[in-house]
Amino acid sequence: MKYIKLIFGLLIILCLANNNGFSHPMPNSVVVLNIHEKNISGEIQIPLSELQTAIGMGVNDNSQNLIGRLGDTLRAYLLKHIRPKSFDGKPWTTQLGEMTVLEIKSKLTGDYKELVVEFTMSPPQFYDLRNFYFDYDAVLHQVASHKILISIKQDWQQGIVSEDSTFQDVGVISLDVPTGKIFPFQISLQQGSAWKGFKNMVSLGIRHIVDGTDHILFLLTLLLPAMLLVEDKQWGRFSGNKSSLLNLLKIVTAFTIGHSLTLFLGTIQWLSFPSKPIEILIAITILISAFHAFRPIYPKKEILIAGGFGLIHGLAFAETLTNLQLSTKQMILSIFGFNIGIELMQLFIILLVFPILIVLSKTPYYKLFRQVGAIMMIIFALAWMVERIQEKPNFITQMIN
C-alpha cells in the first residue's frame, strides 16, 4: 500500500511538472486580478474539458448556448469554490459578473474552449485588501493534476497598469502532494503609493506616443510647413527663426489644449464615442494636415485647426484610461501624469526634428523634401483609413509598423 501511494504521488508530481510556467497551456486555469482602492476585480479562465471532468456535466461536449442553459448552475458552483478571506478568517464578499465561452486557437495545445468569468471581491470594512487568502479550488478539488495560475493585470499603487497581455505573475495554486490537500493561496502585495502610480502613468503616456505611429506622423506633418510663409497661395520662403519658433509654439499649444481637454472629458466619461470612428477621424486629420503641408489649404488658421484636431486625438488618448476603474484621486493623478508623458514625448520629437527642418528650410532642397514628405503622409493616412474601415491591416500599414 505504501508503494502504491508513492507511485501515485510521483505521477502527480510528473503531471504538475509537465505544466510548469505561467503560460496558458491546457489543462491550466488562469486567474487575473485587478487591484483597486476598495475592492479587487478579476477574471477566471477555465478550460471546459477540465471543468467537465470536475463537475461531471457535458459542458465541453455540448458547449453551445452553455451560459443560457447552465449559467445559474455554473455560478453556484464557482461561488462555492471562490472563498477569499482575511488573515483572521473573516470572509470577503464575492460577486460574479459576465460569463462567456471562448474558443482558443493554439498551435501549442490545439484548439479548445474555455469559460471566462468576471468577478469582484470586497473585504470587510476597514480590512486590508492587499493581504488576504485566496481560497480557490474550482476544478482542482476533483482533478489532481490541475493548476491555477494567479497573475495581476492592474495594481495602480504599484505602478502596474497593463494595456496588453503581459501580466505580473503571483503564484500557482496546486495540490500539495505530501498532504493531499489544497491550501488557501496567500496573497501579500507590497504597499504602493500615489507617487508610484503617478510615475507609471507618465511612463504610460510616453509609451503611448512611442507606440502610436499615427500620432508621431501627425505631429511631423504639422511641423513640415510651420516655418514657411505663404506666398501666392503657395508655401514660400523661410519666415525667420523667431517667427518659426513663435508659430510652432502657438500650433503645439493649441494642439495640447485640444487633446488635454478631451482627454479629461473622455476619461471621466463626459464624452464618449466608439473607438473605430475616432481612429478613422485621426487618419483624416493626418490626411488634411498632409494636404496642407503640400499646399496651404487653411493659411493663417493653423492654430485653430491644430486645436480642433487635438480634440479628436484627445479622445483616442482617453481610451487608455477609461477602463481602469480608478478612484477619483487616482483618476485625477492618472490624467495629469498621462498627459505629462504625452507632452514630454511630443516635446522630445519637436526638439529632435524641428531644428533639422529649420536648417533644411533655408536650402533650395526643402521644397522637394516637404512635398515628398507630404505625399508620403497622404498615402499613409489613406492606408490607415482603409485599415480602420476594413478592420484589417494592409501592406502599407504593416510596412509603417
Query: Which of 316, 280, 290, 277 lies closest to 218 in space, CA to CA?
Result: 290
Across the range 250-278, mean pLDDT stands at 91
Query: Which of 35, 306, 320 lies closest to 202 in space, CA to CA?
Result: 320
Across the range 88-96, mean pLDDT stands at 96
Q: Which residues contact 297 (CB under 8 A, 6 or more apart)?
A: 288, 291
The band of 202, judged by pLDDT with boundaries at 50, 70 and 90, is very high
Model confidence at 194: pLDDT above 80:
yes
Task: Lowest mean pLDDT of 115-119, 153-157, 285-289, 326-330, name the range.
Answer: 326-330
Identify the pLDDT of residue 10. 41
Identify the pLDDT of residue 163. 61
Sign of CA dihedral 13, 18, 21, 26: negative
Identify the pLDDT of residue 4. 45
Across the range 383-390, mean pLDDT stands at 93
* Inter-residue contact 52 to 58 (CB < 8 Å): yes
The band of 397, judged by pLDDT with boundaries at 50, 70 and 90, is confident
Higher pLDDT, 21 or 146: 146
Phi, psi of 3 (to 5 degrees): -70, -35
Model confidence at 148: pLDDT above 90:
yes
User: Taking the CB of residue 236, how many other CB atoms lie within 10 A of it?
Assistant: 13
Identify the pLDDT of residue 121. 97
- Residue 358 corresponds to which amino acid? I
Q: Report helix, strand or coil for 31.
A: strand
Identify the pLDDT of residue 26. 55
What's the predicted TM-score (pTM) here? 0.79
Identify the pLDDT of residue 22. 45
- Residue 319 corresponds to which amino acid? E
What DSSP string runs through 316-331? HHHTTTTTS---HHHH
Model confidence at 15: pLDDT above 60:
no
Model confidence at 336: pLDDT above 60:
yes
Model confidence at 14: pLDDT above 80:
no
33-89 tens-digit pLDDT? 999 989 999 999 999 999 999 999 999 999 999 999 999 999 999 999 999 999 999
